[in-house]
Amino acid sequence: MTGPDTVERPGPLAVVGGPLGRHASARARSWLATVAPLLVVSTGAVALGIAQRAHCVAAGWNGSDQFWHGCFSDLPALYRIGNLHAGVDGYLATSGQTAQLDHPVLTGAVMALVGGLVPDGSVLDQTRWYFGIWAVLAAILVAATVYLTAASRPRHVADAALVAASPLLVLVPLVSADIVGVTLVAAGLWAWASRRPVLAGVLLGLAVAARTYPLLVLLALVLLGLRAGRLAGVWRALGGAAAGIGIVLLPFLVSNPEAILRPYAAWWRAEAGLGGMWNIPQLLGHALPSGAVTALAIAGLVAAVLAGAAFALGSARRPTVAEVSLVLVAIALVTGKSYPVQAALWLLPLAALCGVRWRDNLVWVGAEALHFAMVWVYVGGLSKADRGLPPAWYAVFVAVRVAAVLYLAWRVWHTAALRPAHEPQEGWPGEEPDPDSDAVVDELAGPFTDAPDRLIVRLG
């Protein structure tokens, strides 16, 4: 009901959030009204991903048909070859039907836990059950990631739409189990933004036990702590991270230490893989030796650390936690041994937390989606060359994707350098900003909030 004292006015994402009334608190009115529809949108995107894989659900994940239909998933394959039906007990065991996975142990434990829930039946029925349970879990974790992204920057809640409405949610969450680590990173950044450094550290430590890249997020906290001269909170976070990692590793140290080292040993032995920059020479007929690829990947990681340090300590304005994290992760991704399609999820919430413009986000997401389509046509062609994408053409799409990721990192760096250190609190369209509010831009600053710069490294 409206009256003479109320006025309907649009807010961010008014198409899903609805009109706002004058007498309600703008923040209270808009937050849940915006976030709740985003949770529905993200769940719908995962549901579309299930529909997109209808052929494999019906026929199974076998042969080259799964590539031609673009419905390949590591999850059913790993269920079959990794003995995941044995559950967590099998993953912790050192003999018998031991579950074997080339994933960090927390991700492997979650995958084994889901495998233990699958009822008996034919192999096809069991893989369907496993994929179906994972689809439900992935939808929950995606929704949690959207919620945590919105909660981390409550004054820019609409930026969470960059996650919720991303086409990537249709394509990649059901390819592998990476969403476990991605959600834990989002939770850790939310806890840091809420000035709970110990909790943030524990969550990021769990994320490291699920995927290795959150180490770069912890590094971003260290670099910004050095600049702000507030390392006490960082030390508490690192202590919490050590505790989180220890909690996960302890059972494996006792019963199956090989599971801890297996993914890293597999990485060390691996050659250049799909999606990676070092795979391009192989696609063009000049494969690099595995030792050279390992050296280049390590050099790329060093370059990522140096670039992140230059960004964090050398920018005229102190970057945000999300901005430094994105630059670190983006460079590490494109210089790694491989860049699988599901690794795009690592950047998705970070881009939203950076407040990346839709145009820049769509340039990157468009390249990811194009690569997603082309990689399966290329892999399918390895068994049917007359139908597949020639290697040289696949190399072009890999190069386009790498360029798009670097463009995203450059845009974040460039925007951070130009943005003023403080800006007025944003109002809704048609409203004047609050003149009494001089809000720090970095809503993820947490313990760094209002800290003056103590260490700046001038470059050049």
260-312, pLDDT tens digit by residue?
999 999 999 999 999 999 999 999 989 999 999 999 999 999 999 999 999 99
- Looking up tokens 């990346």, which residue turns up? 356
**Residue 247 is encoded by which pair of tokens?**
């909690």
Mean pLDDT of 113-120: 92
CA distance 132 to 143: 17
Judged by average pLDDT, the poorest of 90-94, 115-119, 352-356, 448-452 is: 90-94
Start-to-end CA span in the chain (Å): 62
> Cβ distance 74 to 173 under 8 Å?
no
Does residue 423 surpass a pLDDT of 60? no
Q: Give yes or no for residue 240 having a pLDDT over 80.
A: yes
The tens digit of pLDDT for each residue in 30-81 reads 667 878 999 999 999 999 999 999 999 999 898 888 999 999 999 998 998 8
Mean pLDDT, residues 321-327 taken together? 96
Percent of the chain with pLDDT over 70: 86
Q: What is the pTM of this model?
A: 0.88
Q: Taking the CA atoms of the chain, what radius of gyration do you get in angstroms?
A: 23
Concatenating the DSSP letter of every residue in 126-190 gives: HHHHHHHHHHHHHHHHHHHHHHHHHHHSGGGGGGGHHHHT-THHHHSTTTSSTHHHHHHHHHHHH
pLDDT of 109 higher than 60 = yes
Domain ranges for the chain:
31-418
For 57, residues 6+ apart whose C-beta sits below 8 A from its C-beta are: 50, 71, 128, 131
